[in-house]
């Protein structure tokens, strides 16, 4: 086992989260992403986020001690033990599965909706796609907490029911209703802020129905990821926007008239701002104002990581898919 040095800590992992984007890109080393080097690499880290307990610290670590519960992102997660920099760890009360949900999925929604495309104003029309998913249900709740009217788009009756319990104002199950048609009919003045992670025709339907000064946050484009489409072919733009993958990986911000489309949902915050966003999320959660959904299907150990990723990619999961160790 690696020993932590300098400002590193050794963590015993309790739960690792399955992330909608990172896992497919990392595993396949997709050619247009920063993970391209993985295609030739013999060894690379998998997993985007985890919770665990500190079991050893490097000689320079002052802020953490053995026994502390933390979450961390950016150092892997699909492992029994990982070495992470102390700065990438966030102390938590308990190394739980819910803490994993807040760490990256929740944080992404918070930065996108409070900083990059925010702040949201009470009464604005907010729309969230993949709304029953890990980052989506966070986006729905943060928009509701800001006093928005929230349109939640999802792909199953089970997700719709859970989103109703959260208090979403209008739920569109895209397997039963045409999203573009509903938006044109019920929201003629348009959507003010969209948190959009699906891409493809859904991205176009949302873009077509953005209000005059609307903001669209392109958090991802999972319907076009490598598990659906080979990633080496030509990609088409639409509606005046470049292809999602270009918008996303080149971190473009595009203006179409008064509308703003953000390809990088993190662009509104600096690295130094992140701990405050995370603290606020955990406070809301601990205060009972925010729910962190963990999917009910259980996966355990390294041997079930690929099953957990495949399951997330089926689109059935509600909230975050986690693997326990
Ligand atoms: N930019 C960032 O830092 C960041 C961080 C976290 C997540 N993301 C992105 O946010 C999106 C959601 O990620 P997540 O981790 O929260 O996952 P998730 O929403 O928990 O799971 C993925 C969901 O996407 C929807 N989906 C639509 N078409 C799909 C397809 N062809 N294949 C698989 N799923 C499909 C499904 O829900 P419905 O059928 O109900 O729509 C599915 O449940 C992804 O695009 C991801 O890359 C980005």
pLDDT in tens, 270-320: 999 999 999 999 999 999 999 999 999 999 999 999 999 999 999 999 999
Ligand 1 lined by 200 (C-beta under 6 Å): no
For residue 1, is pLDDT > 70? no
- Which of 226, 217, 207 shows the shortest CA–CA distance to 21? 226
Q: Please answer whether residues 153 and 128 qualify as being in contact, where contact means their C-beta atoms are separated by less than 8 angstroms.
A: yes
Ligand 1 within 6 A of CB of 97: no
For residue 91, give the H/E element and its range: strand 89-91
Check pocket membership of 308 for ligand 1, CB cut-off 6 A.
no
Sign, CA torsion 71/76/105/130: negative
Residue 223's pLDDT is 94
pLDDT digits (tens, 9 = 90+) for 164-189: 999 999 999 999 999 999 999 999 99
Residue 50 pLDDT greater than 90, yes or no = yes
Give CA–CA dist 164/159, Å, rounded: 9
What is the average pLDDT score of the chain?
95
Quick check: helix, strand or coil at residue 202? helix
Q: Choose which residue among 107, 115, 135 to substitute to test ligand 1 binding: the one with the highest number of ligand atoms within 8 A of its C-beta.
A: 135
Q: What is the DSSP letter of 308?
A: H
Residue 5 Cα to ligand 1 middle (Å): 36
Cα 76 to Cα 318: distance, rounded to the nearest angstrom: 23
Nearest CA residue ID for atom 13, ligand 1: 20
Reply yes or no: is the peptide bond before residue 119 cis, omega within 30 of 0.
Answer: yes
Q: What is the mean pLDDT of residues 247-268?
A: 97
Please tell me the distance from the alpha carbon of residue 191 to that of residue 208, in angstroms, as a whole number: 10
Establish whether residue 58 lines the binding site of ligand 1, counting it when its CB lies within 6 angstroms of any ligand atom. Answer: no
Query: Where does residue 55 rank: exposed (0-12), middle (13-18), buried (19+ CB within 10 A)?
Result: middle
Query: What is the C-alpha separation between 279 and 272, in angstroms, rounded?
Result: 13
In Å, what is the CA distance from 227 to each residue of 28, 100, 310? 9, 24, 9
Rounded distance, CA 192 to CA 113, Å?
12
134-145 helix and 157-166 helix, angle to the nearest 10 degrees: 30
pLDDT above 90 covers what percent of the chain?
85
Q: Which single residue is written with the structure tokens 């699909």?
A: 78
Ligand 1 mutation pick, 47, 133, 269, max ligand atoms within 8 A of CB: 133
In our burial notation (b when 16+ CB lie closer than 10 A, e otherwise), range 232-249 reads eeeeeeeeebbbbbebbb
Whether 135 lines ligand 1, by a CB cut-off of 6 Å, is yes
- pLDDT tens digits along 96-105: 999 999 999 9
Q: Is 111 exposed, middle or buried (0-12, 13-18, 19+ CB in 10 A)?
A: buried
Question: All domains of the chain, ordered by start, with CATH?
Answer: 8-95+294-324 (3.90.180.10), 104-262 (3.40.50.720)
CB distance 152 to ligand 1 below 6 Å:
no
- Nearest residue (by CA) to ligand 1, atom 34, is 315
Report the share of the chain in percent with pLDDT over 70.
99
Residue 154 CA: nearest ligand 1 atom is 40
Question: pLDDT-derived band of residue 235, with 50, 70 and 90 as boundaries?
Answer: confident
Please give the distance, rounded to the nearest whole angstrom, from the Cα atom of residue 222 to the centre of ligand 1.
5
Cβ of residue 4 lying under 6 Å from some atom of ligand 1: no
* pLDDT per residue as tens digits for the range 209-233: 999 999 999 999 999 998 887 776 7
- Cβ–Cβ under 8 Å, residues 160 and 182: no
Is 143 within 8 Å of 169 (Cβ atoms)? Answer: no
Question: Residue 232: what pLDDT?
Answer: 67
Q: Find out whether the beta carbon of 130 lies less than 6 Å from any atom of ligand 1.
A: yes
196 or 3, higher pLDDT: 196
Q: How confident is the model at residue 127 (pLDDT cuts 50, 70, 90)?
A: very high
Whether the predicted pLDDT of 22 surpasses 90: no
Is the model's pLDDT at 158 over the cut of 90? yes
Collapsing DSSP states into helix, strand and coil, what is residue 108? helix
């Amino acid at each position: 086992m690696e020993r932590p040095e300098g400002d590193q800590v050794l963590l015993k992992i309790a739960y690792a989260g399955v992330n909608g984007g990172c896992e497919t890109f990392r595993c396949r080393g997709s050619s247009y992403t920063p993970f391209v080097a993985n295609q030739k690499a013999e060894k690379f880290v998998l997993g985007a986020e985890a919770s665990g307990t500190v079991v050893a610290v490097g000689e320079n670590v002052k802020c953490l001690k053995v026994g502390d519960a933390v979450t961390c992102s950016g150092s892997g997660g699909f492992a029994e033990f990982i070495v992470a920099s102390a700065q990438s760890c966030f102390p938590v009360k308990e190394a739980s599965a819910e803490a994993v949900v807040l760490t990256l999925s929740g944080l992404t929604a918070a930065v996108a909706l409070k900083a990059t495309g925010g702040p949201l104003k009470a009464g604005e029309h907010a729309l969230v796609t993949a709304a029953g998913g890990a980052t989506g249900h966070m986006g729905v709740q943060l928009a509701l907490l800001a006093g928005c009217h929230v349109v939640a788009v999802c792909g199953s009756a089970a997700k719709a029911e859970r989103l109703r319990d959260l208090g979403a104002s209008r739920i569109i199950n895209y397997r039963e209703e045409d999203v573009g048609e509903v938006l044109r009919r019920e929201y003629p003045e348009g959507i003010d802020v969209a948190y959009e992670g699906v891409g493809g025709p859904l991205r176009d339907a949302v873009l077509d129905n953005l209000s005059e000064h609307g903001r669209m946050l392109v958090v991802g484009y999972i319907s076009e990821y490598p598990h659906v489409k080979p990633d080496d072919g030509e990609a088409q733009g639409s509606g005046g926007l470049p292809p999602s993958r270009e918008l996303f990986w080149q971190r473009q911000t595009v203006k179409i008239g008064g509308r703003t489309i953000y390809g990088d949902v993190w662009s509104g915050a600096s690295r130094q701002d992140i701990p405050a966003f995370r603290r606020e999320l955990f406070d809301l959660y601990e205060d009972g104002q925010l729910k962190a959904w963990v999917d009910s299907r259980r996966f355990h150990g390294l041997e079930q990581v690929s099953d957990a990723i495949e399951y997330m990619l089926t689109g059935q999961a509600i909230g975050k898919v986690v693997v326990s160790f």
